[in-house]
Amino acid sequence: MKSAKETACSMMVGAIALGCFQLSTAHAAAVVQAEPAVVKAVPPSYPRAAERRSIEGSVTVSIDVNADGSVAAVNVVSADPAGIFDTAAIKAVQRWKFEKDMPAQGVLKTIRFKVQG
């Protein structure tokens, strides 16, 4: 049987993710969520102006995933160079699909843009 301290700590985990430092290793492992796998990654369109000028770069996005595997929200975390590939990355990621029954927030993915040829 759990002590009163362990029970209170376990109840707090549901409301405050990892907010209780008193968890044992076994309990801590139970609250760490696995990241949903990408099932369908739609490639972004290379912006024509960037392609003509042979500009390459990357965009890191934060993705919120619904329980059905669809993308709920996409936000740019960083981009290099800034403002060149942001829109193309967001439009592509909005069409991605993730594995079902694994809703998540803040899944970080980096999309790299490289000129082919």
**pLDDT in the model for residue 87:** 98
Whether 12 and 62 map to the same domain: the answer is no
The two structure tokens encoding residue 16 = 């405050």
Q: Are residues 52 and 109 in the same domain?
A: yes
Say whether both 18 and 61 belong to one domain: no
Amino acid 4: pLDDT = 40
Query: Which residues lie below 8 Å from residue 25, measured CB to CB, with a gap of 6+?
Result: none
Longest dimension (CA), the chain: 68
Does 104 share its domain with 79? yes
Note whether 25 and 46 are same-domain residues. no
pLDDT of residue 13: 33
Residue 34's pLDDT is 84
Q: Are residues 64 and 87 in the same domain?
A: yes
**pLDDT digit string (tens) for the chain, length 117 residues:** 444 443 333 333 333 333 333 333 344 444 556 899 999 999 999 999 999 999 999 999 999 999 999 999 999 999 999 999 999 999 999 999 999 999 999 999 999 999 987
Domains of the chain: total: 2
Give the CATH number of the domain where residue 59 resides: 3.30.2420.10
Domain containing 101: what range?
38-113
Do residues 47 and 14 share a domain? no
Q: Say yes or no: 1 and 25 in one domain.
A: yes
The 3-class secondary structure across the chain, one letter per residue, is: CCCHHHHHHHHHHHHCCCCCCCCCHHHHHHHCCCCCCEEECCCCCCCHHHHHCCCCEEEEEEEEECCCCCEEEEEEEEEECCCCCHHHHHHHHCCCEECCCCCEEEEEEEEEECCCC
> Is 42 in the same domain as 94?
yes
Residues 48 and 104 reside in one and the same domain: yes
| Residue 14 shares a structural domain with residue 49 | no
Place of tokens 């139970």: 30
Residues 85 and 107 in one domain: yes
Question: What was the pLDDT predicted at 33?
Answer: 64
